[in-house]
Each structure stands twice: as C-alpha cells, then as structure tokens.
Amino acid sequence: MFESLELLSTDAILGLIAEYKNDTRLEKIDLGVGVYRTMDGKTPVLNVVKKAEQMLVNDQESKVYIGTAGSANFNSEIQKLIFGEIDLNDRMVTIQAPGGSGSLRVAAEMILRASPSSSVWVSEPTWANHMPLLSSAGVSIKPYPYYDFEKHVIKFDEMLDTLRNASASDIVLLHACCHNPTGLDLSKDQWQLLTDIVIERDLIPFVDIAYQGFADGLDEDVYGIRHMTKFVSEMIVSSSCSKNFGLYRDRVGALSILAKDKDSKRIIDSQINNVVRTIYSVPPDHGAAVVSLILNNEKLRNEWILELAEMRERLKSMRIMLYELLLAKAPKYDFSHLVRATGMFCFLGVTEEQVKELKKDFGIYMVNSSRINIAGITPRNVNYLANSIIDVLQ
C-alpha cells in the first residue's frame, strides 16, 4: 500500500537541524530553527524550569489522565498572561494543547466545524508551517501582503486594502509579536486601524503568539491581542510556551476562543473538547504542570520573568552587534532592518543562491528565504558571520 506514496523533501526548517549537525566544520553557525541559544550556543533548560520540575518530581502523586482541556489552572494562568486582568470568564474558552502547532490544528478543526467556507488570510510571508498545517486540515488559505522584500518594511496599506476585500466571516491570521519570519510587528496605531477593518468587514482575528516576552516585554507584546479583545465579538488565539519557557520538546501550548456570549461559549467549550478527543484525546501534562507551578508561585514567576528578560536582551544586543559590524565593514549595504526587527527572526535580505553559498563555503545555516535566527549569533562568531555575509554579497 505505502509504495503508492511519493518521497517528500525534508522540512524547510527542521531539516536544517540534521544538516547542521552533520557539518564537521568548527566555525559553522546555526541560524536555522527558531530555538533560543545562550552566548555559548547552548539551549539549556531554564533554571526556573529545573526548579519546578524538581517540585513536580517530589510532589506529583499521580499521572492519571487530566482531561481533554488539560489543566484548569494552566488554562486560567495562560489566559491571564495573554489577556491580562480583563474579565472574560463569560465569553472565553481556553484549553491546553500540545504546543503551538497542536493548538493551531485544533483551531483549524474548529474553523472547519463552525464555518467551512471561510478562508483564513495569512501574511505573506508567514511561518513556514502555517500554510501546510492549516491546509492539511482542510482550511482554505488566502495571502495578504505583509513584507516589502526590497525596502524591508511592512506593506501596511496593501495589507489593509486586501483585507477590505475579504468576505464576512473570513479569518485573519496575525502574529501578536516577533513576526515569524520577518521580525517586523504592527505598531499600536496599526493594530487599531486593523481592528477597525476587522469590525467593518465582520472578520475574525486569529492571533498566533509563540514569542510572548521576546520583543518588548510580557505585557507590551500582547498589546494587539488586548486591544482587539475590547472591540471584537469573536477571536481565536493560539499560544505556545515552547520559546518563553524553553519547553520546546515538552509540547506546551494553549488555544483560547473568545465567544460572542455565554451561550456560544458553552457550545464552543463542548465542541473544542470533542475535537481534542477525536485527535489526541488528552494533551501531555508535564510541561504545562511546570508552567502552572511557575506562574502560581511568586518567587518562581519573578525568576522566570528575569530569565526571559535576559533572553530578550541577548537577542537585542546580537542584532545590534551584527548590524554595526556590517555597517562598519560594508557601509554601502543597508542592513538597518536587522535592528528594526524584534524577537528571534528577520530576513538577512540575501538571495537563495547566496544562502546556499553561505552554507557551502562558510558552514552558515539559515532558511532558504534568508530568515536568520538571531539566537545563533554570539560575540565569538559574529565577526566571522559578518565577513562571510559580505563575502557572498561581493
């Protein structure tokens, strides 16, 4: 039976992990998959996570199933982290999900059940897995302009013009912060203008938040979500704890749906739990239990906020360091978008050919689009990186 299937190429992002690992050059640099790295190029377990895990080992009494929605405590803490203190109890359903991707998949199933003819509008470009993940679930996708590859700015007017043509009940997928792959986020004014269009056209915002805390801060990074929450009647928010708690492989995420009213909340609640039951039955517990412990304990929570700030500041300083080196070494090229972007990513702005050259000649790995993960840059490798970039440009 299976011989009828075709051989597929490896995933554009995850495939780079193995390629990089197999490269024996000492000077190689991994700017591929979006994971945080320290100055030493490591992705250690956060100290605060280690502490919470120890508490779990000591105190956890059972590994019995926890239910389709996961931990009620985790769900309410995540809701507060994203939506703040706004009282949404009557209208919001939040479930724990297996990572951001798991929550996106459940969201896709909910869209298909509720409104199969709606299209999901995605930014061009968007995270490389958004379209495969949503379309393999059966959702229809349409692109809206987002990034000007020449000028390295957001095409905001074109984005709005496109969304003005969306049909009522269409869904707009947005990145709350640290837009992946461009690193360029909407300003407060732009979130407000976008909210007006969403209301005017009767669209449903679907916000993906995988990097809360990596741009400007935990509250600052959810400005757009909190603003929209005040005005829209329905919204979907898919969130991940992979990056900000460093829990990548433990698969910790959540899906929140804002309902029109209390009655629709009850219906959504029943449907979403049914979707979960029919896909993976119950979410994994360990990572979410760790997040719950941290968010419920003031001391651990403060430690986490500090560790997160350290990651954020390191990314910022590496952006500046690379930019300043490129400016000093090759002032004729404009790399200012490196420091206008936030979070883990931005485009380097070189061609696919040059990306291949960087890999082949210098052992520098990045996604073909020239998306770089800033966390792969360290004070030790930045000079080599800048020299190599200039070499392929000339």
| Residues forming the active site | 127, 208, 243
Query: In terms of CB distance, is 33 or 258 closer to ligand LMR?
Result: 33
| Shortest Cβ 146–ligand LMR spacing (Å) | 16
Of 213-252, binders to ligand LMR (CB under 6 A) are none
By CB under 6 A, how many residues form the interface with ligand LMR? 6
Contacts of 24 (CB under 8 A, 6+ apart): none
Q: How far apart, in whole angstroms, are the C-alpha atoms of residue 175 and residue 169?
A: 19
Query: In terms of CB distance, is 230 or 249 closer to ligand LMR?
Result: 249
Query: In terms of CB distance, is 203 or 376 closer to ligand LMR?
Result: 376
Residue from 13, 290, 350, 375 that binds ligand LMR (CB under 6 A)? 13
Query: In terms of CB distance, is 88 or 315 closer to ligand LMR?
Result: 315
**Residue with CB nearest ligand LMR?**
34
Q: Which of 288, 313, 291 is nearest to 304 (CA)?
A: 291
CA distances from 126 to 37, 131, 184, 274, 326 (A): 23, 8, 11, 29, 26
**Amino acid letter, residue 313:** E
x-or-dash string of contact with ligand LMR, 146-185, rule CB under 6 A = ----------------------------------x-----
Of 117-136, binders to ligand LMR (CB under 6 A) are 127, 129
| Shortest Cβ 299–ligand LMR spacing (Å) | 30
Q: How far apart, in whole angstroms, are the C-alpha atoms of residue 362 and residue 344?
A: 22
* Three-class secondary structure of residue 145 per DSSP: strand
Our finding on whether 36 is near ligand LMR (CB under 6 A) is no
How many other CB atoms sit within 10 Å of the CB of residue 278?
Answer: 10
Element (H, E) at 316: helix 298-329
Contacts of 329 (CB under 8 A, 6+ apart): 386, 387, 390
Query: In terms of CB distance, is 52 or 184 closer to ligand LMR?
Result: 184
Q: Which of 347, 366, 369, 348 is nearest to 358 (CA)?
A: 366
Q: How far apart, in whole angstroms, are the C-alpha atoms of residue 12 and residue 181?
A: 13
Q: Which of 236, 297, 293, 305 is nearest to 74 (CA)?
A: 293
| Shortest Cβ 180–ligand LMR spacing (Å) | 5
Residue from 29, 33, 172, 203 that binds ligand LMR (CB under 6 A)? 33
| Shortest Cβ 183–ligand LMR spacing (Å) | 12
Our finding on whether 34 is near ligand LMR (CB under 6 A) is yes
Site of interaction with ligand LMR (CB under 6 A): 13, 33-34, 127, 129, 180
